[in-house]
Amino acid sequence: MYRYPIIIEKAGENYSAYCPDLPGCVATGKTIRDTSLQAKKAIRFHLAGMKKEGIPLPIPSSKIGYVTISIPA
């Protein structure tokens, strides 16, 4: 079982998501929850296509982190 990170961004009236470890694997949704579910489906579809084509599945390697920034007044 693999655990791939996704990035979810606000995109106008909806949200979009992408997986840094799977270039071209994207999803959209009306809510963050919906977008996350759509991303999971997109990742499954993407990996199934890679497997069918005989392409090795990438091991998740992206790391998610946050930085705290103090903005001068």
Task: List, for residues 59-73, the tens digit of each pLDDT value.
Answer: 999 999 999 999 988
Cα Rg, the chain, nearest whole Å: 15
Between 1.10.40.60, 3.30.160.250, 2.60.40.1220, 2.60.220.30, what CATH number should domain 1-68 receive? 3.30.160.250
Does residue 32 carry a pLDDT above 90? yes
Where do the structural domains in the chain lie, given as residue ranges?
Answer: 1-68
The rounded distance, in Å, linking the Cα atoms of 57 and 48 is: 9
Structure tokens at 29: 């949704």
Place of tokens 């579910």: 37
Which residue from 2, 6, 3 is spatially nearest to 64, judged by alpha carbons?
6
- Per-residue model confidence as pLDDT tens digits over 1-16: 899 999 999 999 999 9
